[in-house]
Amino acid sequence: MTGTIPSREREFLDAARVGRLATIGPDGTPSLVPICFALVGDGTPVIVSVLDEKPKHVPDAELARVRNIRRDARVRLLVDHYEEDWSRLAFVQVTGVAAIVEPGSAGHEAAIAALRAKYPQYRSMAIERRPVIAIEQLRTRSWGLA
């Protein structure tokens, strides 16, 4: 399904604390990084993640995920739930098109508000001055959400 997210998948994503973002590296290999994220909007939601103040070894523009998105915007986000009771395993995989949204750009303020509402840690960080990854044109696939 493109654009909208079925309610069970939306609930799963809203409750999740972390996902794994896959971007395409310059040689075509996947690059994977854990991210905090939130959904913005109802009818055609956007997944957002901020390049926050956690320590990094390079400036934001040099992060592999940023360089990869600027070169090839196709991304995938995997959010999963694991328990030793395998009857409770589940995942949602989201495919979409990502962009880097700079402060002051359309959608940035709503992204920051959604991330601060979901993650108390962001309330004391100056994330309003940081770029956001926004994933649109969402298509989902899931398993185990019954």
Q: What phi-psi label fits residue 94: left (phi over 0), alpha (psi between -120 and 50 degrees) or beta? A: beta
Full strand arrangement of the beta sheet holding 46-50: 30-35, 19-24, 74-81, 90-101, 132-143, 46-50, 38-40
The answer to whether position 57 is within a domain reads yes
Q: Residue 64: inside a domain, yes or no?
A: yes
> For the chain, what is the mean pLDDT?
95
pLDDT at position 56 is: 85
**Residue range(s) defining the domain that contains residue 55:** 7-143
In a domain, 23, yes or no: yes
d(CA 98, CA 66): 10
pLDDT digits (tens, 9 = 90+) for 9-24: 999 999 999 999 999 9
User: Does a structural domain hold residue 136?
Assistant: yes
Q: What mean pLDDT do residues 97-114 have?
A: 97
| First-residue to last-residue Cα distance in the chain | 18
> How do residues 25-64 score in pLDDT, each as one tens digit?
999 999 999 999 999 998 899 999 999 988 888 988 899 9
The structural domain count of the chain equals: 1
pLDDT of 1 reads 43
CA distance 48 to 134: 5
Closest alpha carbon to 81 in 146, 23, 24, 2? 146
Mean pLDDT lowest for which of 1-5, 57-61, 86-90, 109-113? 1-5
- Domain assignment present for residue 76? The answer is yes
Tell me, yes or no, whether 101 lies in a domain.
yes
In a domain, 58, yes or no: yes
CATH of the domain at 113: 2.30.110.10
Q: Is residue 1 part of a domain?
A: no
